[in-house]
Structure formats: structure tokens, C-alpha cells
A and B are shown apart, each in its own frame.
Chain A
Amino acid sequence: MIDAQLRLARGDFSLHVALALPESGISALFGPSGCGKTTVLRALAGLERAAGRVALGSEVWQDDASGRFVATHRRALGYVVQEAVLFPHLDVRRNLDYGRRRIAPAKRRIALDQVVDLLGIGHLLARRTATLSGGERQRVAIARALATSPRLLLMDEPLAALDAQRKAELLPYLERVHEELAIPIVYVSHAIDEVARLADHLVLMRAGRVTAEGPLADMLARLDLPLPLAEDAGVVFEGVVGERDAQWQLARLDVGAGSEGCSLWARDHGLALGRRVRLRVLARDVSITLAPQSGTSIGNQLRATVEAIAGDAHPALALVRVRVGSAPLVARLTRRSAHALELAPGMAVWAQVKTVALME
């Protein structure tokens, strides 16, 4: 468990958080600018001195009660910031070596070759850092951090400085880091699409406080959170590629198993059968009917049970959470439709999801 209890006051801003993050997977700190998420990350790294306690499992990095404060360079962590800060006087290879050389050989759990492969930077090793593109710089910065075999990786909006295309290029690398290395990551972001794609655990922050936290899928399915998501409200769930339809270039994704399970058709992106994928279903792409429809273009019709109904940001809209097998789904309807269908918790309905709307 990553335990962080931090308090800090600076002018108008005050930070007061108590976090218990899982010691595996990606925990996202999500919130608007100025909510204190970067300060939390810096305090975890020891770059910022907040009052309180920071511990990674049994390793205590800061404990004001016993007067313990481990200097940043003695914490086994990697830190990646928005604008990759590479050493301009060193080439890429020596940038990668900078941290690694400072780790005792016995403590190197990650080989340099492995991180170079993982981030696809083999062809850049001899380059000067000034000649790298933004995406390349960020990959080198991530590789450099990983090369120190950190026990915790801290990332502060690593994609925010990149344009949409570079961002799309870098995301798969982050997913590979997530999948192939068992390093817990604390990921600061204000972009929900990144969070939905990468995170396992979500912490919502606002004005220096944690407003809610929990597993990502549960958090996104909650209707009571003031998620600043607006158009992007939606759930994620994990599925397995169960079938690939070559004729129509579609893939069947199985979510859950047995009577709890359901299947959805989505675009086939060439993933192997049995491969785990994460699906994101936006609330605006889900509609509700009382009976299965025929003569519709919508490719996925799922038997569902209404769980909860809540008002949405705009008074004309409502968010309806239904359960499809074990997976929650959120639909955005007009209140008029919800009223007309007489939706109520416990009611059996059909949820429709357009095949083209599924995002991976």
C-alpha cells in the first residue's frame, strides 16, 4: 500500500489528503488545475516538504512523528514530468545511464536493454537530446526513470505537452510499461480519456482535498460524484477477445463469465484471441429500451437491470446506471425519456450500445 498523509498550507491554497493507494497498477490523481495533485506527487517524491507521512509498503520515506525524512535521491522512485527534463549536456545513452549507474548492481531488477526495447528508443541512443521530438524526449525520460529499477513510478501529466497525435503514439508505450513491469504508478492527469485508458484506481481531487477514490470501473459508474467529465461521462470494463469476424472486421469481446457475463461487438483492431482489452463506453452512446429491438442498426443489445437514476449536469438530462451481468453501464438519457419509460431501480430493460461507439 502506498500511504500518504499530507498537509500543507501556502497562501490561499491548503492541501489536506490521506491516500491509501494500491501497490500495483496505475493510480490516477485526477482533478482540475490547482487542485493540488502535482503537489501530492512532489511530496511523495520528497521534492516538496509537506507535513505528514509517506510510506511505500514497509518502507517509510517520511514520518513527521518520528522525525524521519528520506531525501529524494535516497527514495527508490522514478519521476516523469510533463516537459521531459533531459540533461542537455549528455546524449540519450548517457541520460539513460545517469540514474542506472547510481544503483548498486545487485539492486538493478530492470535491464537497460529491456527498457530500451519497451519504449522503442534503440535507434535514438547516440542522439543528442536537442534533436529529439517531444514524444521521443518523453519516452527517453520514462526509460531513464525505469532504468533505476524504481519501486514506484510517479508521472505528472506525461502526455499533456504533446499534441493529440504524439499522445496517441505514446499511450501504447505507457500501457506496455503498465503491463510488463510490476511497478506501481501514480499518474497525475486532468484528461479523463488518459485516465480511463490507463488507470486502475482513481482518486478525485478538488481544492486540496480528496473528494472520492476507488477502483476506476466503480468510480466511473458512480452517479453521485461531481465528476467534471460532462460529455465524457462513461464506464470502462475489461473484456477478452472471444471471436473475430473476418467478414465484417468485428471482434466479440466477452465481459465477465457464465450467467454474469455478456458480450459486445466492437471494431477488430487485430488483437489476438484471448487478449485482454479495456473497453470504454460513454454514457451518451448508451440508450435504453424496454424490449429488444428488431430492425435497428445498433449492434449490441444487452439484457440489463436498472440500478440507479440521477440528474445530470443539464436539467434536461438524466444518468441511468444499469447492470449488465457483472458490469455496470451508464446511459445518458433525457429526463423526458426516463419518465416516459417509467424507469425505476430493479426494472429489467435492454441497453443498446452502438458498435462503432466502443473505444479501446
Chain B
Amino acid sequence: MTAADWSAIVLTAELAAVSTLLLLLLGTPIAWWLARTRSRLKPVWASLVAMPLVLPPTVLGFYLLVLMGPLGPVGQLTQSLGVGRLPFTFAGLVVASVLYSMPFVVQPLQQAFEAIGERVLEAAATLRAGAWDRFFTVALPLARPGLLTASVLGFAHTVGEFGVVLMIGGNIPGTTRVLSVAIYDHVEASEFADAHRLAAFMVAFALLVLVTLYVLNRPARDDPGTAR
């Protein structure tokens, strides 16, 4: 593999790691809220989170570009804060990835939180645990499989994205040139052997990730003698 390929792989890993961390930090409270709210607006918020599932990545990328561009509101804000413009930077990629992968993190977490049910949280409340305490000592540990699924899907989905990256990040080696873009470049340049190497790497990676996920999330075997 060439140095450029390695640089793309490292950049991709960095992007996915940072995005996953942010996704978990932002997605967990969103999922918790969606799992427990009785608000009539719940379907609206759930739909907004799920939008990236149905929108073409280029649509999301296009609007992000407009928003974060020099004339967009987000762009003007970042410029006035002295952060500069986000498009075609690593930070811009992170923002786009987080938005784009959000449903892959929120949905498994939301399902996990919903599966916990009210009763075990009420039991914790009658045992003197306040709301934060209940969340960290009961809800999060019980949502562990969902948390794992969310992390893996968030990471893997960020690794695999292409359209949004190309719209927001372009193709700057070492800054925004991630794996999927590198493969595209190789193919455009008819470097099929190079493309094949990276593509095979991606296939192996995806398979490994999914197998790991399914192994870790296997339901624990019931102990013999479980009487109920």
C-alpha cells in the first residue's frame, strides 16, 4: 500500500473515532428523550433524526455546504467566532459525519432504552436513586447491547460514507481524502489494482465489524435451572 493509501486509512479511522465519540455524546440524550417522551412532537423529532436514512447523501452534503459556506448562517457564525470556514476541513467532515450517521446511533439506543421499561427505573427510584443516578446505574448498564450496536454502526457507517464527504470535504490528501474517496480516485485514474486493495480492505473491515457485533450481542445463554 502506498503512503497516500495509508494516510487515507488513518484519516478515515480518525474521522470515524471522533465522529463516533460525538455521536454517542449527542445521540444518547436524544435517544433517551425519544424513548421516554410523551410529547406530541415525538414523531417529528424522530423523523428529523431518521432523515439521513432516506435522503441522498448529496442532498445533505449540499445543504451543509450552503449552511457552512461563507454566506450561510453557520459559516458566518464560525467565521465571526474565528474558527474559519468548515467546508473542506476535517472539522467540517466531522460535523457532516455526525449528522449523517445520527440515526444509526440514535435508533439502536432508543430501542434499548425503550426495552428497559418503566418498572426497573421505578424500583431504582424507590431505592433512593435520583434521575441521573438511575440513568447511569440502571439505564446505561441495561442498554449496553444497544450502546455497543450504536457505537459499531456509527463507526462503520462513518467509515463507509462517500457522498457527504465528497460534497463537504472534497479530496484534500491528509485532510479530507478518506478511504472511500481514495478508492473513487483510483478507479477514476484506472488504477484498478490500487482500488482493489483498498476495496478489499474495506470489505474485510466491514465483515469483521459485523461479526464482532453479532458475537458480542448474542443473548447470554440462560443458566440451567432458571425457574420462572
Contact = CB atoms under 8 A, between A and B. Distances in A.
A145 B119 CA distance: 15
B126 A79 contact: yes
Interface string B88-128: 00000000000000000000000000000001101111111
Contacts of B226: 130-131
B228 A73 contact: no
Contact of B119 (A74, A85, A98): A85
A14 interface: no
Nearest to B130: A73
Contacts of A128: 223
Contacts of A99: 126-129
Interface size band for B? 20 to 34
Contacts of A73: 124-130, 133-134
Given A79-B123, A88-B142, A89-B142, A131 B128 contact: no
B123 A133 contact: no
B213 interface: no
Contacts, number: 73
Given A47-B122, A89-B141, A130-B222, A145 B227 contact: no
A102 B228 contact: no
Contacts of A320: none
Interface residues of A, number: 29
Most buried by A among B128, B129, B130, B133: B128
A102 B225 contact: no
Given A87-B138, A133-B227, A133-B228, A78 B128 contact: no
Nearest to B122: A47
B172 to A, nearest CB: 46
A145 B222 CA distance: 27
Contact of A85 (B120, B128, B130, B141): B120
Interface of A: 45, 47, 71-74, 77-79, 81, 83, 85-89, 98-99, 102-103, 128, 130-134, 144-145, 148
27 contacts: A71-B130, A72-B126, A73-B126, A73-B129, A73-B133, A73-B134, A77-B126, A79-B122, A85-B122, A85-B123, A87-B120, A88-B142, A89-B141, A89-B144, A98-B127, A98-B129, A99-B129, A102-B128, A130-B222, A130-B223, A131-B223, A131-B225, A131-B226, A132-B227, A133-B228, A145-B127, A148-B127
Q: Nearest 4 pairs between A and B by C-beta?
A: A99-B127, A79-B126, A102-B128, A72-B125
Interface of B: 119-120, 122-130, 133-134, 137-138, 141-142, 144, 222-223, 225-228
